[in-house]
Chains A and B, each alone.
Chain A
Amino acid sequence: VQLMESGGGLVQPGGSLRLSCAASGFTFNTSPMSWVRQAPGQGLEWVSTISGSGSGTYYADSVEGRFTISRDNSKNTLWLQMNSLRDDDTAVYYCAKTDFGAGRSLGYWGQGTLVTVSS
């Protein structure tokens, strides 16, 4: 299993950014996927999860209405569209393979991409 995030960078408050996660080594179109973030020096915060088909999406209250999770199963790619970014969205963003058969745990993680929101 390999997961590789990209798309992070520096963005001004109120701006937008789109993160990508390229997946390989497993059957992507049946695997739910999640985004988890970690602010500098802080703990882990779940952001969003999407079902394998893409029909079900779930969001943390802190990003509901601003972030959109999506996937293209033909390209084995997961995205996170982030709008109206705030300073407190600054974090390393990880994509993770989510195993509904193993207690909805996050079994595999990418190495993360850093998003910095600052003027």
Chain B
Amino acid sequence: EIVLTQSPGTLSLSPGERATLSCRASQSVSSTYLAWYQQKPGQAPRLLIYGASTRATGIPDRFSGSGSGTDFTLTISRLEPEDFAVYYCQQYGSSRWTFGRGTKVEVK
């Protein structure tokens, strides 16, 4: 089973700053099957990025995804107040879906 390790666990930043979130896989993952989600307290997760770098419908262009193989990154170019949330990476492989444990982006 592929394990996804997200770092850091918590990222403390101010609005307007750049956020860089890491997702590392225990073995190589097809970029096609790497996604990122945002979850705010009391809400369901929301798909941000699929295929490692394709923004989902309605997602602002300040969100971008990159990476390949075992190392993937979600970047938020300039944090807006509504971006403070928990972010999860997720992969699909061998008929299994796996999530990372999440990175919390909090207000500094």
B96 A46 Cβ-Cβ under 8 A: yes
Q: Are A60 and B96 in contact (CB under 8 A)?
A: yes
Task: Report how far A99 CA is from B32 CA in the complex, Å.
Answer: 12
CB proximity of B35 to chain A, nearest CB, Å? 4
Interface band, chain B: 20 to 34
Contacts of B47 in A (CB 8 A): 105-108
Q: How near does chain A come to B103, taking the closest CB pair, in angstroms?
A: 10
A51, chain B: closest CB distance, angstroms: 11
Question: How many Å lie between the Cα of A108 and that of B35 in the bound state?
Answer: 13
Whether a CB of chain A sits under 8 angstroms from the CB of B19 is: no
B88 at the interface (CB under 8 A from A): yes
Which of B43, B92, B97: most chain A Cβ within 10 A? B97
**Distance in Å: Cβ of B102 to nearest Cβ of chain A:** 5
Q: Would you call A44 and B99 a contact (CB within 8 A)? A: yes
In the complex, 6 of the A-B residue pairs with CB atoms within 8 angstroms, ordered by the A residue number, are A43-B88, A44-B39, A44-B90, A46-B99, A106-B90, A112-B44
